Amino acid sequence: MTGQTSRTLEQRPYFFLSYAHVPRHGPDDDIDPDIWVVTLFDDLCTHIMQLTDVPLGGHPGFMDRDSRKPGQWVLTRDEALATCRVFVPLFSPRYFPSLDCGREWSVFVRRPPGRRGPAEAIVPALWAPVPADRVPAVARNLPAIDFNAGDRYSEFGFYGLIKLARHRPDYYQAISRLAKRIIETYERTRLPVGERRIVADADSAFTDIYAERVVRISVLAPDMNDVPPGRTTYYYGRTALEWNPYRESVNEPLAQRLALELELREIHADIGTFADHMAQMSAEHSASPGILVIDPWALLNPSVREGLTRYLSLFSESRTHILVPWNPADPETIERQEQLEAILLETLGGGVPRVPSDLLTLALEKTLHDVVRAYFTKAPAHPPPGEPLERPRLGRQRDDPE
C-alpha cells in the first residue's frame, strides 16, 4: 500500500455531499453564494462526529468547495467519491441540470457492492423543492425523500428552514434525522473502497431529462491573473467565466446572462471555459448546439489563437455560434482597435461581427434564436396522433419544446 493510498483510506469521508454550485453575481461579489450549504455541511459533520467513532483528524464528510479550479480539487473529489461511505445528493432546482452533479452520481454508482449495491448507499437531502416531473428516473424511487410529504422539511427544504429563525427547530430535527439516516445506511450497506475515477470524464446520470436540453456556453477569455500586458483587470474576474466585457452597463458576467436567457427557454446551459470544453470535445459533443464567446484580447496569445484555429478546423460543421463582444466604452480596446481587428480577421475571417454594448440585447436574441433552432433540429419530435394537416416546418415553431 502506497503512502498516498494509506492517507486516502485514513481520511475516508463518512459521506460525500454532492451539490450544485451557485454562481457569483459578478467579479466584485465577495459573498459566497454557497455559504448556507457550508453551514448545513458543518452542522451535519458535527452530528456525524458525535454519533460515530470517526477519529480526530478524520473527515466525517467531504464537500467540494470550488469546482472551478482544475488540478488539486479534481483529485480530491475523485478520491472522495472512490472512498466515501455514503453519497448525499443535495436536491435543488439547480441539482439535476448540473452536469457536474450528474457525473458525480454516475461515478459513485459504479463503486463495487458491499452488503448492498452502491445505489442503496445514496441518501438524498432536500435543499429546495424540485417539481417531481423534473426529477430523473435514477432519483425518483429513492426512499429518503417523499415529495408529497406535508412536514416543513418537505415543504421548504433545508434552505427554507435554515434561513428563517422560526423554522430553526425544524432545521435541527431534519439535520439530526439526516445524520442518523447516513449512519444507518452505511451500517446496512458497508460499501467498500472503489477505484478512483475521473469525474470530468464521466457521463451524467441525468440524461433522460436533460440530455436533449443542453447548450454549451464556452468562454475564451483570460482571468484577472492572466490578462495580456497593458490590459486592465477591470473587466475580468477570478476565472474566465467571470469576464464581463460590458461592465459599465451590465451587472452579471456575459456567460451568466446567456445562461439565464436559455433558462427562460427551458434549456440548460453547460457553462465552461473554452479550454475545458475543448478538452472534452468529440464529434458527438460537437453535434449539440453551442455558443463560443471570444474576448479579442485573448487572441493576442499565440497559443490561444492556435487552439482556436485547431478547434475551427476540427469542428467547422458543428453548430457553434460565435459572439465577439466589443465595448466602445473600453478605452484600451479602442486604442488598440486596429491590432485587435486584424487578429480577429486573421483567426475568424470576416463573417463574425463584433457586438457593441448598445446592440448586446439584439445580438443575444439573434444568437439564442439560432441556437434554439439548432436544438429543435436535434431534438426528437412528438407529433399528435392522426394525420397531420400539413407538413410541419420546425423553423416556424415557437421556442417552447412542449
Integer Cα distance of 139 and 203 in angstroms: 16
Cell numbers representing residue 11 in the block:
481520511
**How many CB atoms neighbour CB 328 within 10 A?**
12
Average pLDDT over residues 196-219: 80
Of residues 22 and 173, the one with the higher pLDDT is 173
Q: Is the pLDDT of residue 42 over 90?
A: yes
Of residues 260 and 106, the one with the higher pLDDT is 106
Average pLDDT over residues 70-93: 80
Contact assessment for residue 129 and residue 148, using Cβ atoms and an 8 Å cutoff = no
Residue among 285, 137, 311, 293 nearest 209 (CA): 137
pLDDT of residue 88: 97
Query: Looking at the DSSP assignment, which residues form a beta bridge with residue 91?
Result: 126
Integer Cα distance of 345 and 279 in angstroms: 25
Q: Is the pLDDT of residue 183 over 60?
A: yes
Q: Is the pLDDT of residue 10 over 70?
A: no
Whole-number percent of the chain with pLDDT over 70: 75
Q: Is the pLDDT of residue 83 over 80?
A: yes
What would the pLDDT profile of 214-235 be if each residue is shown by its tens digit? 788 899 999 999 999 989 999 9
pLDDT of residue 363: 73
Q: Is the pLDDT of residue 383 over 60?
A: no
Q: Is the pLDDT of residue 327 over 80?
A: yes
Rounded to the nearest integer, the mean pLDDT of the chain is: 79
What would the pLDDT profile of 117-126 be if each residue is shown by its tens digit? 888 999 999 9
Contact assessment for residue 299 and residue 269, using Cβ atoms and an 8 Å cutoff = no
Q: Residue 287 — pLDDT band, cuts 50, 70, 90?
A: low
Contact assessment for residue 126 and residue 157, using Cβ atoms and an 8 Å cutoff = yes
> What structural domains and CATH numbers belong to the chain?
3-201 (3.40.50.10140), 210-378 (3.40.50)
Helix runs in 252-359, H state only? 254-264, 274-280, 283-286, 302-314, 331-335, 337-348
Integer Cα distance of 152 and 171 in angstroms: 9
Whole-number percent of the chain with pLDDT over 90: 35
Q: Is the pLDDT of residue 2 over 90?
A: no
Q: Is the pLDDT of residue 144 over 70?
A: no
